[in-house]
Amino acid sequence: MKITPVISILILVFVRCQPAAERQTNSGTADTRPNILWIVADDLGTDLGCYGNKTVYTPYLDQLAKEGALYENLHTTTAVCSPSRSGLITGMYPVSIDCHQHRTPFKQSLPEGVQPITAYFKEAGYFVSNRSFREKNKKGKTDYNFIHHFDSLYDGTHWGQRAQGQPFFSQIQISFPHRPFYNDTLNPVNPAEVLLPPYYVDHPLARKDWAMYLETIQLVDVEVGKILKDLEADGLTENTIVFFFGDQGRPHIRGKQFLYDPGTNTPLIVRRLNGEGANQWSGQLVSNIDIAAASLALAGIRIPDHIQGRNFLDKDQPDRTFLATMRDRRDETVDRIRAVRTTDFKYIRNFYPERPYTQFNAYKKYRYPMLTLMRILYKKGELDEIQSRFMSDVRPPDELYDLKNDPYEINNLATNPEYSQQLQSLKGQMDDWLEKYDLGEYPEDPRAIKAAEELMQGRFKRNMESIGLSPDISDEDLLNYWEKELLGSTENYVHEN
């Protein structure tokens, strides 16, 4: 019998409307497909105990890593949330689906044939949910940079709303360690013990800011522990595959919004069923668009041909040889940077070398105390050569880093003749990738840029006035504010039972 589109829809409706306890597979057995849970932290670098940071206290995540596999080289396609999350939920590069400009005022629908992976889970009979950690019934962060409606993408906010026995694909969004940071009063981090990167100046404000970042990561750990306990209390641990990762890297200078490792590298821990892969470490290159592909495969759902992510859990599939990452307009700050990263090297191309790295950005002006401090010290000539480089008024068109010998990415080898072969090879890989995947419009519509500027100017003014400051405040006065705010009293996190 030929199955018409109308009959297909009726069959799908019948399957969804069956009580889950009565739903059967083709073999006549109960539906035992695994549940898939994504726990997503906001702005999280690889600063966890299980990743080797001895200053931070993350017992729940450390235990999760023992029960699962830890991936050292997950990199998000971008280092800011809306493009990164757009790629995550579609399995597509943001530049391939016109989602690369951060929170564009003129969102478009996804290209024809492309849809969020929630649609494929729904079609397969999964209950699909997304919630904020703090409240079970509060809709979770999407921030997708395309036209979407939460109630169309998701069936609800919590796996408890599904039909009995129905498998689920759920996301839980943790807002930490996104700024503002909080003190963890139960396990304070001593600022004197934190390890600052060499491109940071060693200053009490820097140490306090970094310590509070680590303490806020500890609060991520607390919330992950509660989620895992809820899963166990509901009897779901044994049949739920857990992914833990961040939507991008650290919310620090040279991190978030940029394509150095701190901006794109975030933890990835995958706990599979029956102890598979337990207590394993992997150095393979993984893009966050690969998480979509792997999740579909684990649920037994065919990965659509258009998806650019790959199932990194498939041992029969060769590992990636390189990763591509990208930066475009972030808030009101116009930029364009592309990078390709192998296990050993990274090549960065700056399309606006005449512009400073630290172009004005209202969000960072309001939230990043170290940016203000380093601007002042740079003007005074009190930064060393490494610290000064990122504060310069210009930047090189090409950057090349030996990641094994220079993990902080501070020694640019692009003009070193000894590395010309690596440079030309990576430039060729980037050119090929740009031609195949970078389908965005450049330059961006000036109307969108202007709308973003007006939005951020208004937001900056309101934010500054909310803390009693003028938006025209001098760097010196803003630094005085931060020193009083961070080196004096700070807001504490309230631990809940």
Q: What is the mean pLDDT of residues 207-235?
A: 98
User: Residue 341 forms beta bridges with which residues?
Assistant: 323, 346
Peptide bond just before 443 cis, omega within 30 deg = yes
pLDDT tens, position by position, 304-348:
999 999 999 999 999 999 999 999 999 999 999 999 999 999 999
State the pairing for strand pair 127-132/168-177. Answer: parallel
Assess if residue 97 is contained within a domain: yes
CATH number of domain containing 346: 3.40.720.10
Assess if residue 19 is contained within a domain: no
253 by DSSP, 3-state: which? Answer: coil
Assess if residue 259 is contained within a domain: yes
Question: CB–CB of 445/106 below 8 Å?
Answer: yes
Position 496 scores a pLDDT of 52
pLDDT tens, position by position, 108-137:
999 999 999 999 999 999 999 999 998 878
Burial class (CB in 10 A: 0-12, 13-18, 19+), 315: exposed
Which residues 6+ apart lie within 8 Å of 71 measured at CB?
A: 267, 268, 269, 270, 282, 284, 286, 312
Assess if residue 265 is contained within a domain: yes
Round to whole Å and give the CA distance between 425 and 414.
12
Which residues 6+ apart lie within 8 Å of 378 measured at CB?
A: 387, 388, 391
Assess if residue 397 is contained within a domain: yes
Query: Could you tell me the pTM of the whole model?
Result: 0.92
Q: What is the mean pLDDT of residues 271-299?
A: 97
Q: What is the mean pLDDT of residues 94-120?
A: 96
With residue 365 as reference, give the H or E element that holds it: helix 362-367
Which residues 6+ apart lie within 8 Å of 480 measured at CB?
A: none
Residue 481 binned pLDDT confidence (cut-offs 50, 70, 90): very high
Active-site residue among 17, 50, 81, 99? 81
Which among 200, 218, 177, 194 has a CA at the least distance from the CA of 260?
Answer: 200
Assess if residue 20 is contained within a domain: no
pLDDT tens, position by position, 414-441:
999 999 999 999 999 999 999 999 998 8
Q: How many domains does the chain have?
A: 1
Q: Which domain holds residue 72?
A: 34-487
Under the phi-then-psi rule, with left for phi > 0, alpha for psi from -120 to 50, and beta for the rest, what region is 28? Answer: left
Round to whole Å and give the CA distance between 250 and 177.
8
Position 31 scores a pLDDT of 81
Q: What is the mean pLDDT of residues 222-229?
A: 98
Round to whole Å and give the CA distance between 411 and 275.
42
pLDDT tens, position by position, 353-377:
999 999 999 999 999 999 999 999 9
pLDDT tens, position by position, 391-401:
999 999 999 99
With residue 74 as reference, give the H or E element that holds it: strand 69-75
Question: CB–CB of 403/73 below 8 Å?
Answer: no
Assess if residue 91 is contained within a domain: yes
Round to whole Å and give the CA distance between 83 and 114.
15
Peptide bond just before 417 cis, omega within 30 deg = no
Assess if residue 464 is contained within a domain: yes
Q: What is the mean pLDDT of residues 458-464?
A: 96
State the pairing for strand pair 337-341/345-350. Answer: antiparallel
Residue 20 binned pLDDT confidence (cut-offs 50, 70, 90): very low
Q: Has 17 been annotated as catalytic?
A: no
Question: CB–CB of 56/217 below 8 Å?
Answer: yes
